[in-house]
Structure 1
C-alpha cells in the first residue's frame, strides 16, 4: 500500500517537533498537525514563560541583598504590562523558530485539529485526509478545574501569562510544583498570595526534609500558606471572589488560581473503537517503545502520563525514531531523571527520597542545612539544604536532594554521577570547590541517620 506520508504526527510541542525533525533526517516523508501554537506547553504555556517570570520575581530579593552589600538601590515598582509585552514577543519568536526548524527539515505542517479515522488515516478540521504508515500522537496535557460550585470563576496555569494587570491578591489552590512555583513568583512580583493545600505538606512525593524547608521559606517570604485546607465554593462579589474554605473562614480575593492537576489530551482524537488503550486517567497506554495496542499508532510525552517533563518527551520522540525509522529498537529510560522545582529557594532532586529508600533497603542519610555565605552576610534568615541518601549494602547514592538558589543547575551535574552509579566514597574522593554551597555534597563525612 502507498501512503501519503511515512509518519504523521499530531501535536507540535517539544516531543512532536523533535520526532518530526529527526525522522525527516532519515529521508522519511513527515507531516505534523498542530491546532494551537507550535512549541506546546513548555514553550508557550509552561517552562519558558514560567522561568522568565521566576527571573523577574527574584529581583526584589536581589535588590535587598545589594543594599546589604553597600549598593544604593533606586527601584520603582514592577511594570507588568511592559514585562508581559516582552514576554509574549519572546514566545512569538520561539514559536517562529519551531516553525522554521520544521520547514527547513522538510516537514509538512498543518495548522488544524487532527483526529484518526482509522489506524492509518488522519483527518483534519480543514476537511483534508491523509494516509500514513505510522501515526505518532504527541498532544500533551492540559490543566483541569475541580468539580465544585463556582470553579468556572477560577483561572488555571494557562491563564497566568494572559493577565492584563496583576491582581492585588490571589488564592492559589494546590500543593504541587505548579502551585508552589507560582506562589513564589507572584509573591515576588508584589501580589498578596494565599495558598491552600488539602494535604499535610506541600510537594507530595518529594523528600520530606527538602519540602519542609521550602514550605518554611515560602512562609518566611510572606506567602500565607494554609495546609490541611480545601475550598467548598467560589462566589463573585464586588469585583472579586469570596472563597469558602473547609475551615469556614471566608475571604475575598481578586483572583483564584487552580493548580490542582493536569490531564492527558487524549479526547477528540478518534481513538475510540480503534483498539488504542486508554487508562483511567485518560492517558494513552503504550509499551516501552511508545507503541499502542494498534501497531501503526504510537504516543509520546504527557499524553502517555509516564514522566511528564519536556526533556523526557524529547527523548521519547528520539527513541521512537530510532525504533521505527532506524531499525534500532530503543526503549525509553525513565529511571533516575533529575528534575528541578523553581520555587524560591529551588529544589533539585534525583533518585529516591529518604522515605522511599528506607522502605526498600537499609540506608544512611547524609544531610546538612545552613545559611549560605551570600545571604548570611546580608543578614538574611534564608537556609539551604544538601542531602544524600546512600545504600548501606553497596554504598551507591540512591538519592540527592538540594534546596538552594541554583539547585536546578547543581542537580544537573550531580545527576551525571548518580546516573553512572556513583557511591558515597566516589563523592568523598572529589576535592571541594571552596567557597561554594555545593561543596557540602562532597564534604559530609558522618551520616545523620542510619535506618
Structure 2
C-alpha cells in the first residue's frame, strides 16, 4: 500500500467518473480525480442538461399557440436568445460547482488539469506531477467527430459550441440524422430559425423502430424543418457576407449563418497513453473492457462513453458505481446493459425500451404488434395538429413484452415507468390486467386489445 500515492486515480470528472470516485471514497479508498475541462462532463456542461433546458424553451412556442384555444389572450410573443443562453450557462456553472462540492465533500482530491496514463500504475499530470495509483479508472467520455472530414469543415460548429452562439441565426443547416442532430433542429426551428437537416441516409434515427422513425420524420417536416435525405456535404465555403454555403453531392447548395455538424461522437482516448500502457483499443478508439469494465491491464478500468457500449449518462453512472463497489466495497456486481430505456427530446419526443419490431424479427421472435395513434386531449381544444403514437412489440409464444415505443408529449416520462415493468419481464396480459388511469395518454398502453394484422 505504501508504494501508491492513491488507491484510485480517475481520469475524467463526468457522470461515470465522479460517481466512481465518490463511491470508492465512501468505501475508504484514497481517491484523486483529474479533469482538464469543467467538472460535470458532457451531460452537465455541454449535453443533456443544457439541451433539455433549451428544449423547454423551444416548446413555449406551442404552449402560446395552445393557450388561445383555451380562452387565453396573449400579447405578441418575443424570444430573446441572450437571455436563454446566459440563464442556461449560469445553471451549468451552478451544477458544475455542486459536482465539485460533492467530490470534495466525499474526500476526493480534485486536480483541474489534464492527466494521461504513464503506465499500469502511473498517471502523469499536465503540471508535471506523477501519481502512483493502485487502480486507474478511465472515464473521459467522448467528443463530437466531424466524420468524414470535408473541405471547409472548420466553418461548421459542433454540439459543444451550439450553446454559446453570440446571436440567434436566421438560418441553420444541421448535418446528421441522429438524435443529437434532430434534437437541435427541433429546438432551433421552434425558436424561429429556418432549419434544414441534411443526412446521407434515406431516413433519420438509424437503429430506432421504423414506425417511430417515419412518424418523427413527418412531424419534423410538419414543423417546418426541411429534410434533405440521401445527401452528403462535399465542401463548405465562407461567403463575403459571413454566410456559410454547403455544397451537396446532389441538389442545390444550402446557405446558412450556422452549420451544425452532428454526424457522430468518438471515444475520447487520443493522446491518453492507453495503448502504450497495454490497454486494447477498438476500431474507433474505444477502450475494450469486459463485463466488469476491466481492460487487458488488470489495474486499469474504464466506464462510460469512452468504452462505446451504451453511450448514455445513467449507464455511465451505473458502470462507475459497479466498479467502485466491486473493487473497493467488497460487493461485486455488474451492469445489465439489456433493456436500457432511452429518450430523444425532439418535439414530439420519443421514449423507447427494448427491441424494435425489426430487431425482434431479426432475432427470430414470432410477434404480435399492438399500436395506436391518437390526438391528445389538449390538442382537441387548442386545434393544433399533434399526434401521439404508441407501439407494443410482444413475443407471440411467451406473451412477454419485448419492446415499447412511444412518440409524443411526455414520451420520456412515460417510458421510464414502463421500463420497470419491461425489465421485470412483464407480459401483455400484465398490461391488460392493469386498470387504466383516465384521462391520460399513458392509459392507451394498457387498453390496446387487437394486434395489428399482418
Greater CA deviation, 27-36 or 71-80?
Answer: 71-80
In structure 2, what is the equivalent of residue 6 of structure 1? 7
SS of the equivalent of 2:64 reads helix
> Of 417, 420, 437, which aligns to 2:424?
420
Query: Any residues of structure 2 matched to 1:156-175 within 5 Å, and which?
Result: 156-175=158-177
User: Does structure 1 retain, via aligned residues, the 8 Å contact 2:173–2:254?
Assistant: no
Structure 1 ranges of 4+ moved more than 6 A: none
Task: State the distance in 2 between where 1:251 and 1:32 align.
Answer: 45
Query: Any residues of structure 2 matched to 1:355-370 within 5 Å, and which?
Result: 355-360=358-363, 361-370=365-374
In structure 1, what is the equivalent of residue 323 of structure 2? 320
User: Does structure 2 retain, via aligned residues, the 8 Å contact 1:149–1:233?
Assistant: yes
> Of 326, 338, 357, which aligns to 1:354?
357
**Residue 296, structure 1, aligned to residue 295, structure 2:** no
Task: State the distance in 2 between where 1:40 and 1:420 align.
Answer: 31
User: Does structure 1 retain, via aligned residues, the 8 Å contact 2:6–2:32?
Assistant: yes
Q: Deviations over 1:212-249 (max 9, x none)?
A: 11111110011111211211111100210111112131
SS of the equivalent of 2:386 reads coil
Q: Which runs of 5+ in 1 are unaligned?
A: none
Q: Which runs of 5+ in 2 are unaligned?
A: none
TM-score normalised per structure 1: 0.98
Query: Any residues of structure 2 matched to 1:389-404 within 5 Å, and which?
Result: 389-404=393-408
State the shift of 1:389 in Å: 0.3
State the shift of 1:251 in Å: 2.5
Task: State the distance in 2 between where 1:326 and 1:104 align.
Answer: 19
SS of the equivalent of 2:186 reads helix
Task: State the distance in 1 between where 2:254 and 2:146 align.
Answer: 20
In structure 2, what is the equivalent of residue 194 of structure 1? 196
**Residue 253, structure 1, aligned to residue 256, structure 2:** yes
Q: Deviations over 1:183-232 (max 9, x none)?
A: 00000111110001111110010001011111111100111112112111
State the shift of 1:83 in Å: 1.3
SS of the equivalent of 2:348 reads coil
> Of 202, 209, 212, which aligns to 2:211?
209
**Residue 378, structure 1, aligned to residue 369, structure 2:** no
**Residue 278, structure 1, aligned to residue 281, structure 2:** yes
State the shift of 1:255 in Å: 1.1
Task: State the distance in 2 between where 1:6 and 1:250 align.
Answer: 56
TM-score normalised per structure 2: 0.98
CA RMSD of aligned residues (A): 0.9
> Of 180, 183, 188, which aligns to 2:182?
180
User: Does structure 2 retain, via aligned residues, the 8 Å contact 1:366–1:449?
Assistant: no
Task: State the distance in 2 between where 1:409 and 1:449 align.
Answer: 29
Task: State the distance in 2 between where 1:274 and 1:15 align.
Answer: 22
**Residue 148, structure 1, aligned to residue 150, structure 2:** yes
In structure 1, what is the equivalent of residue 308 of structure 2? 305
